[in-house]
Structure 1
Amino acid sequence: MGEPVLSVDGLSVRFDRKGGALTAVDGLSFDISAGETLAIVGESGCGKSLTALALLGLVAAPGRIEGRSVKLQGRDILGLEGEALRRLRGNRIAMIFQEPMTALNPVLTIGEQIIEAITAHEDISHQTAGDRAVSLLDRVRISDPRRRVNDYPHHLSGGMRQRVMIAIALACNPALLVADEPTTALDVTIQSQILELLDQIKRESGTAILLITHDLGVVSEYSDRVLVMYAGRKVEERTTRDLLKSPLHPYTRGLIAARPGRHHVIGLRTRLSEIPGMVPSLAEMPHGCGFAARCSFVVDACRIARPPLIPVGAEGAVACLRIEEARASEHAAARCDAY
């Protein structure tokens, strides 16, 4: 495999305040290759969306972005500002935001908004950009694109607006597409169509996709690898198949166990599994493992020092001192299910 499209090394996001900085993303590292989808999962408040915003330099003061490097196609983009950053956004890296109902400008037609995204980075005529806008609408499966290009956002449903957002993101053929909860507020059928569209784009163009989601069903269908975040840190990263088949970190196991599955039948009063407690606040982050207060495998050592990332297999890693105990518990549970 060649050089990754995106290589993140030690990314952190901190917010300055009186009494000391708060760390919302803490030393995150990962790679994404061409034609690959990496899903970042975790509960709300774990740092998923903030990671996506940091990649595009969209963290506002008092937040600050730090790290060793963030390389896009081999070029370190960490610390870019002003015009250099503007040339990057929407060009080599693009983002689909999670609120299609509010992300578009209500006073411009969708065609004008796509044209603006194109001409901001390419020196072409308005007519040529307009023709490309029509082609992009066709690519994202909006019917009668030559007519719909003149519609305003309020003429469109939520699913159609999200297709327009995808068209804008694809306007300059980005190497990396960041999709932050791209199916929020859409019904299940439309969610599936949007995700199928993103998957098709990846296969056809080789675009790398960073998918931010809390939905493990989406992860199982549309990602190649999964990075699990908790309290701003990476706690597990593995191929999607390996992680869903045999999760190692207790937090990952808890997320998977909390999914409604074959044991939860509609109409029956069966209780879903849950992870007790809540994600710690930034002001009360523990010194050791961030998950210690909620973990059923915790020992004193977990509370003293942050567990290191331990390599697992050819491509995986997990940050847990109690992997073997978690594995033993999983095997015991599997034997019970067999009976």
Structure 2
Amino acid sequence: MIQIAGQVLLTFVMTATLLMVLRRPAVQAGLVDKPTSRKRHGRPVPLIGGICIILGFFTGILPAELGLRDYQALFTGMTLLLIVGVVDDLIDVRPGYKFGFQTIAAFLLSVWGGLLVTDLGYLFGYQWYIELGLLALPFTLLCVVGLTNAINMFDGLDGLASGTTAVALGWLTLAGFLGEADKWPLLSGLLLTAVLAFLVFNARNPWRRRAASFLGDSGSMVLGFALAWFCIEAATGSEAVLPPIAIGWILALPVMDALILMGRRILRGQTPFRADREHLHHTLSRAGFTHGQSVFILVLSSFILGGTGSLAALAGAPEWLLTVGLIPIALCHIAFHARAWRVAAFIRRKRYSKT
């Protein structure tokens, strides 16, 4: 326990130190996010979140007394996406190239790392055990690449993507320790620690009115990939502690947001990776909520959804019940997006009629 506490402290301190030390070199190298019509942060902000998180995480796992050979694919995939993301932050990589490297990382996870989503559990009752068979590999690749992009797309406000990822990692880590899984809960917890250190510099608070650093594509892709790894490990294999449907609850908000927006863009004949202002946080902003209020609402929603799914599963709730519970949430999410402007106007009128 003392060693774990030391690793947590080392991870936090290293990540925080790097975030302070690398700010000036990042500005000098041009690794910054400049204000545009869509990005209204007022000044260039260093895109060093991903670099600092991954280096802090790697530093924290060095003293780990567990076989890390099984996680070489995780470390390699994170490093690959970090490099691609940094290049993208510097010179803008075409979406097709990024998608290709994300697919390579997903292959590393499945083929080298040995992680596969082989079944979906008892989604519709004990008579309906859903095995994927030959679809296991393509489904796993789709999930990994999809989650990598979902976290990237959710990175629209200071502290939103990192806060949502921290919540997901927190529930996974708790479930892993309660389920007495051997290795991965410690790694998940150390990554959570690095993300929390980054949030100190990224999330707005009374002591910090603006973000001192951003995740960048490097950070959001690395976090999405690593989160996919721990989700799969938590729900499959010998150290599984949660059914697959519980993972759906933990990831509900960013995944639903990404799926609905990408589907809408495809129906309009647009690329699914096209940037727009139709995300959940945009609707909340139009409804009159401040930056901080929008982040708080969405991260708290993720916390409640993730806690409901994971704690219910750990308490022995049947999987079909979790499936039934997730359906109305998905339908409400779709309806919210379909009538986003009307919903925003309604909320705005209600909020201001009380003042």
TM-score (norm 1): 0.30
Q: Which has the higher contact order (CA 8 A, sep 6+)?
A: 2
**Max radius of gyration: which structure?**
1
TM-score (norm 2): 0.29
Higher strand share: 1
